[in-house]
Structure 1
């Protein structure tokens, strides 16, 4: 097989999705999980893939990782087709899955050595030690996998994905259900790999503030189709200028309730400027509603997400926690 020239390799995308479609046959007819999804991720990018439940994110990653096959289209990793040249493509990838999967018969260091062996890597202890230290697992190196907490098992999964130093790291909701310490440790370590080694990172996450802080570019999926593909800064520029947030126990006037996102006592509304804020407050006063803890905040990525995916009122986030379904 002919080798690509260095100039071609420099221009090659780290990951390329080319008109990828996936259709499942069901008793109710065909289910189109993906519909002609196309975008490229460049070498060294920290890239976010976002979307609500059923958007097709996990299906797309499963095809990328070789766990499913596309009905149509093609995916390449550094030029290697994930189907026709799967061995070379797999070596380029390190995938952290959503599920906790582990072998209960080995300790942490043994699990990482075995994972190294899958890729034909011997005498990998120096890098394993760096992974253990960087992910806060150094004191668990000899612990059996069954003895670890859920958060520690998650750290081992991340170490296993990185043990062969893949140029492309795929993180499928890696911080779902984990504590703040692990989230900080993970992002510090992965961001270091991205900056120090030029690793390409593809991230899906429930926490949109993570994507906003980490990702330079984002694709949003809805019903298997790409509805946005832009830099994070360009997406944020789409958002309404501000969001008015307050608390109340009283029923809202109908015209306010129609555009509000209400979570318990918390009400959030788009507020383009000071005049819009004053208009809302005056309507509340006329209706006898006394709002508490009034604040105006800048719109964020979650506002854009809800606007583009139709998951809630335009410009208004779904919950104060910044956590959404993915």
Structure 2
């Protein structure tokens, strides 16, 4: 969700008064057994999933049946949770705390509740290289709030070929907790599924992924050294820098396989690709395209193209760098017909 705000924008050497979409941020305070437990700032949607995912992730509850009731007052930003058990009063384990959108105290969780709730992956799931790239493209296509504001993290639980559920939030940990909560509330097993994430793979993100139960984590960004160590220890395949037609595998690479027979075909896809997505694909293939064809493609994207044309251009550019010379020549002809 977002709000339009009047701003002063500096572009091309001049200031302009325009309206911009600004992402919405709200506080959410959780009460457990009538006692204040935690306050976090988050995006104002999927509150119930966030609360449930957070409580599971922090080890407050281990089973869904531990929750006797959960009532939300979304207007005031309160969540009232009644447990079927007493809350553990141990200041070294739980404490009243403020959790910002960057989860500044999450290292405390790593040394305490994370030990209790992190899981070593036992998945047999695997992905082809092309599936890794396609799943990241699918996440970006479904990131509506980010497209509007640029102010949220996106995460999704996926099968081999499609997004099963995706969530967005100003806090990357919140986005993951919303996914966790959704799966828990709907009794969904994620052992054979994958996590696709827009942000950096930090140690906290890897720990969250292990709690959710996935064995493959795909990210557009870089991992940290501790995240890689955790991925190795927890038997999680960590894939980073998924951009264009390339990526890096940092742990347990056996789960990511070569495309069958070096497949470079465009494949089928039912997704409508945005102008922004086509531009990104074009830039990723710039060094492989003929200069004049690249420029013509770039120019045509300044026009109001029909969705079918955008889709066709996208798929002609997709994996262009992996195609052999004959196929590239064929694609060049088709692209030229569309853009000249």
State whether TM-score is above 0.5: no
> Does 1 or 2 have the higher relative contact order (CA < 8 Å, sep 6+)?
1
Q: Give me the TM-score of the superposition, normalised by structure 1.
A: 0.25
